[in-house]
Structure 1
Amino acid sequence: MKQAIVARTDIGMGKGKLAAQVAHASLSAYEDASPKDRRAWKGSGQKKIVLKASGEEELFRLADAAEREGLPHAIVRDAGHTQLDPGTVTALAVGPGPERIVDKVTGDLSLF
């Protein structure tokens, strides 16, 4: 079991903002997973990776691919309280799900 979190590189998020957006994405997708997948992921160490996306369009393309594969996923939109405008799409989490299926969706991306 694995989760991949994909964050945009084109909007200049600071390290703290990036960490917060990744956390929002991870938790939101976890909540979208089935109870069985949540237990399996938690029981296997909660494996996760953070990957780079070039922009909003790429995140939505990946979200569509995750949907087609039946994977839990979540797009994050910033509230706009600090660095970004309200509604800015910042990150996507894919999974938790079987590692080979998560990799099918996100395996071509670079590590953050």
Structure 2
Amino acid sequence: MKQAIVARTDLGMSRGKLAAQVAHASLSAYEETSEKDRTAWKGGGQKKVVLKADGKRTLFDLADEAQHNGLPHAIVRDAGHTQLDPNTVTTLAVGPASEAAVDAVTGDLSLY
């Protein structure tokens, strides 16, 4: 089991902002996951990777692919309280799901 969080590199988010957005994405996608898969992921160490995306379009294309493949996923939009404008799309989480299924969607991306 694995979860991939894909973050935009074109926004210039600080490390703290990036960490917060990744956490939002991880939890949001987790909440969309079946209880069986939640349990398996938690029992297996909650494997996560953070990957790079060059922009908003990439996140939406990956989300469409995750949806098509029946994978839990979540797009995060920033509230706009600090560094970014309100509703700025920042991250996408795919999974938790089988590692092969997550890699089928995100496997071509580079580590953040």
TM-score of Structure 1 vs Structure 2, range by shorter chain:
over 0.9
What's the TM-score, normalizing by structure 2? 0.99
SS in structure 2 at match of 1:92: strand
Q: Which residue is equivalent to 1:104? A: 104
Q: Which residue is equivalent to 1:14? A: 14
SS in structure 2 at match of 1:94: strand
SS in structure 2 at match of 1:85: coil
Deviation at 1:81, TM superposition (A): 0.2
CA RMSD of aligned residues (A): 0.3
Q: Which residue is equivalent to 2:95? A: 95
What's the TM-score, normalizing by structure 1? 0.99
Deviation at 1:61, TM superposition (A): 0.1
Deviation at 1:17, TM superposition (A): 0.1
**Segments ≥4 residues shifted beyond 4 Å:** none
Q: Which residue is equivalent to 1:75? A: 75
Return the letter of the residue paired with 1:5.
Answer: I
Structure 1: runs of 5+ lacking an equivalent: none
The separation in 2 between residues aligned to 1:27 and 1:107, in whole angstroms, is 21
The separation in 2 between residues aligned to 1:65 and 1:97, in whole angstroms, is 14
The separation in 2 between residues aligned to 1:44 and 1:10, in whole angstroms, is 33
The separation in 1 between residues aligned to 2:69 and 2:98, in whole angstroms, is 11
